[in-house]
A and B are shown apart, each in its own frame.
Chain A
């Protein structure tokens, strides 16, 4: 009850802040010349990163036939869908004229203009729309047998909803075969789409010629970071679900142990990429890039950079690397650290580069205002809200995967 009320108030405050921004102009944010991209873009990359929790993890585990995945997949796939819905809002919130966002869509219009497909923003739009569509299908397919069962005995309106969603599922052999094939196919497709989406998000930066953005490493670096933060989000959500919905029997220490090891692996991989990115710049010693490097590691943004290193590397390495310390509680703590650390990582990528442009005269600093903070907070509230509604309406663990179904009986 209290959680719902807080989520509602925070969400309403965020909407009010956005209303003010639409009414007054982008001047209510902390953006300024030369820092034209601020924490809206940070939030965008962060949420798209979180969305890699579900699809990627569940698809990899489904394809490799890891049987321990069963109680994890639905929770993960739901994170993907909601994180994408929220992440996809940010490019619109960030627009100077948000009410014109649909001008980026290709449709016959009075301006007689096709959108510019040379722009990475158009690639981004295409990739994200594809990813949302794919991950909704990917979440929905394994839901069908469950909603069919829920539709059998229930309150009238719920029965109606579930029957509608079950698409007339009867549970025949033919239907099970079709479902299995469809899920396998979607797992393959969604893997490719997920990798491409975060690569394209990285290219929004890498295609620009700004110092320390114009880098070939950004595609794989962003994908790694996305999976890293995605696993952290999944561990945290699972720990909360386990407590709130009393799922101790299903979500065991065993599951958290496996996911914690995966998180540790991604932490090491992320650290390797960060080293590769920064070491090459430092050794190359190009003055324009060194201005950004200096701002990141030694000057104005150093506290962000070193907190990021501590939260993303030291904390998971100690808590999850030492076997005696690796418990459900420490996995949740490490996940919170990684989520904060990965948000900072995106800040470190977006802001110092823009604050130190090639000509020295227009350089500047950026501090977000309360409007940006309120909208950011509201998206976390929205995530909690959407997830709660989903968990109320649908089983958060795939029920049919725990029951023998006809195929397994023969």
Chain B
């Protein structure tokens, strides 16, 4: 395979500001829930900030962890889908084909990170958000599952641009919306096949761990924190 996309997230830099969540919503045409639906656990955020608390109040420390689809090499969501709506693409991405999805929910149940989101109703946007849809991303109908795609539309666009100019993709040329918007520069995206890329170097340094690594899912998202 030509590329193997991966991400490194520096937890020591993350401030939990949720700029990545907002950027993802705008980039990927994510529907906006009503407060009532949100209270019932019906929100869709392809990237979310999990909070962990250390110590007892008032001597408390909060740790933030952005959690998105981990793009596992051995993804538990893939074999259980009866219609191949979720499958592994040649660049190692775990792709969701909305048109094939019939909504069995099985992939979401088998995802240990619970990063799959369902369209409970037809998607809705309060004005004027409906006017800012991204034309490169499909709007999903009611009844299908969706999740983070590592902004595959941006990956494709960058590859096309590079091909048109007859050159190789440069490291850092592709940036998913969350990476681009992170004010702390905590997120790095790139090609894990290229040993010189920033993400490869970060993934191989001593601070890198992967979420629920013990399950053998081989995620391509690396979390960095001091040992």
Considering the complex, give the chain B residue whose CB is closest to the CB of A26. B120
Inter-chain contact B84/A116, CB cutoff 8 Å? yes
- CA–CA, A24 to B143, complex, Å? 10
Inter-chain contact B40/A96, CB cutoff 8 Å? no
- CA–CA, A121 to B86, complex, Å? 14
Stretch with Cβ within 8 A of A (4 or more), from B14-22, B109-117, B179-187: B109-117
Q: Which residues of B contact A362 (CB under 8 A)?
A: 48, 114
Q: A25-B122, A27-B42, A362-B114 are in contact. Are A97 and B143 (CB under 8 A)?
A: yes
- CA–CA, A95 to B50, complex, Å? 29
Q: Does B201 contact A (CB under 8 A)?
A: no
Q: Does A318 contact B (CB under 8 A)?
A: no
Q: Interface centre among A37, A96, A125, A210, by most B CB within 10 Å?
A: A96
Q: Does B92 contact A (CB under 8 A)?
A: no
Q: CB < 8 Å: which of B50, B84, B100, B144 contacts A96?
A: B144
- Interface size class on chain A is 35 or more
Q: Which residues of A contact B125 (CB under 8 A)?
A: none
Q: Could you mark each residue 41-79 of chain B with 1 if its beta carbon is under 8 Å from any beta carbon of chain A, else 0? A: 111000010110000000000000001000000001001
Nearest CB of chain B from residue A331's CB, rounded to whole Å: 38
Q: Could you mark each residue 85-115 of chain B with 1 if its beta carbon is under 8 Å from any beta carbon of chain A, else 0? A: 0000000000000001111111011101110
Q: Does A115 contact B (CB under 8 A)?
A: yes
Q: Could you mark each residue 74-95 of chain A with 1 if its beta carbon is under 8 Å from any beta carbon of chain B, else 0? A: 0000000000000000010011
Nearest CB of chain A from residue B14's CB, rounded to whole Å: 15
Q: Does B83 contact A (CB under 8 A)?
A: yes
- CA–CA, A354 to B105, complex, Å? 12
Q: Could you mark each residue 113-135 of chain A with 1 if its beta carbon is under 8 Å from any beta carbon of chain B, else 0? A: 10110111110010000000000
Q: CB < 8 Å: which of B48, B101, B106 contacts A97?
A: B101
Interface residues of A in 101-154 (CB under 8 A from B): 101, 103-104, 111, 113, 115-116, 118-122, 125
Inter-chain contact A36/B109, CB cutoff 8 Å? yes
Nearest CB of chain A from residue B121's CB, rounded to whole Å: 4
Nearest CB of chain A from residue B124's CB, rounded to whole Å: 11
Inter-chain contact A361/B67, CB cutoff 8 Å? yes
Inter-chain contact A359/B113, CB cutoff 8 Å? yes
Q: Which residues of B contact A104 (CB under 8 A)?
A: 82-83, 102
- CA–CA, A182 to B112, complex, Å? 48
- CA–CA, A409 to B108, complex, Å? 63
Q: Which residues of B contact A100 (CB under 8 A)?
A: 102
Q: Could you mark each residue 199-213 of chain A with 1 if its beta carbon is under 8 Å from any beta carbon of chain B, else 0? A: 000001001111000
Q: Which residues of B contact A116 (CB under 8 A)?
A: 79, 81-84
Q: CB < 8 Å: which of A27, A95, A118, A357 contacts B79?
A: A118
Considering the complex, give the chain B residue whose CB is closest to the CB of A122. B82
Inter-chain contact B120/A25, CB cutoff 8 Å? yes
Q: How many A-B contacts if CB must be within 8 Å?
A: 134
Q: Does B137 contact A (CB under 8 A)?
A: no
Inter-chain contact A36/B105, CB cutoff 8 Å? yes
- CA–CA, A387 to B40, complex, Å? 39
- CA–CA, A113 to B82, complex, Å? 11
Q: Does B145 contact A (CB under 8 A)?
A: yes
Q: Could you mark each residue 34-50 of chain A with 1 if its beta carbon is under 8 Å from any beta carbon of chain B, else 0? A: 10110000000000000
- CA–CA, A33 to B105, complex, Å? 10
Nearest CB of chain A from residue B94's CB, rounded to whole Å: 15
Inter-chain contact A25/B102, CB cutoff 8 Å? no
Q: Does A358 contact B (CB under 8 A)?
A: yes
Q: Could you mark each residue 342-360 of chain A with 1 if its beta carbon is under 8 Å from any beta carbon of chain B, else 0? A: 0000000000001001111
Considering the complex, give the chain B residue whose CB is closest to the CB of A121. B82
Q: A96-B144, A359-B114, A361-B50 are in contact. Are A111 and B100 (CB under 8 A)?
A: yes
Considering the complex, give the chain B residue whose CB is closest to the CB of A361. B50
Q: CB < 8 Å: which of B43, B82, B105, B113 contacts A119?
A: B82
Nearest CB of chain A from residue B162's CB, rounded to whole Å: 30
Q: A32-B40, A33-B114, A103-B83 are in contact. Are A96 and B143 (CB under 8 A)?
A: yes
Q: Does A364 contact B (CB under 8 A)?
A: yes
Considering the complex, give the chain B residue whose CB is closest to the CB of A358. B112
Nearest CB of chain A from residue B24's CB, rounded to whole Å: 16
Inter-chain contact A354/B83, CB cutoff 8 Å? no
Inter-chain contact B42/A32, CB cutoff 8 Å? yes
- CA–CA, A24 to B122, complex, Å? 8
Inter-chain contact A33/B117, CB cutoff 8 Å? yes
- CA–CA, A357 to B67, complex, Å? 14
Inter-chain contact B102/A95, CB cutoff 8 Å? yes
Inter-chain contact B142/A121, CB cutoff 8 Å? no
Q: CB < 8 Å: which of B48, B80, B100 contacts A113?
A: B100
Inter-chain contact A96/B145, CB cutoff 8 Å? yes
Considering the complex, give the chain B residue whose CB is closest to the CB of A208. B110
Q: Does B197 contact A (CB under 8 A)?
A: no
Q: Which residues of A contact B141 (CB under 8 A)?
A: 97
Q: Which residues of A contact B110 (CB under 8 A)?
A: 208-210
Q: Which residues of A contact B118 (CB under 8 A)?
A: 26, 33, 36, 96
Considering the complex, give the chain A residue whose CB is closest to the CB of B117. A33
- CA–CA, A94 to B109, complex, Å? 14
Inter-chain contact B109/A27, CB cutoff 8 Å? no
Q: Could you mark each residue 202-238 of chain A with 1 if its beta carbon is under 8 Å from any beta carbon of chain B, else 0? A: 0010011110000000000000000000000000000
Q: Could you mark each residue 18-34 of chain A with 1 if its beta carbon is under 8 Å from any beta carbon of chain B, else 0? A: 00000011110001111
- Given A25-B143, A97-B101; 4 other pairs, CB 8 A cutoff: A25-B142, A103-B83, A121-B104, A354-B109
8 tightest Cβ-Cβ pairs between the two chains A and B: A96-B103, A27-B120, A96-B143, A32-B41, A36-B105, A25-B142, A361-B50, A97-B143
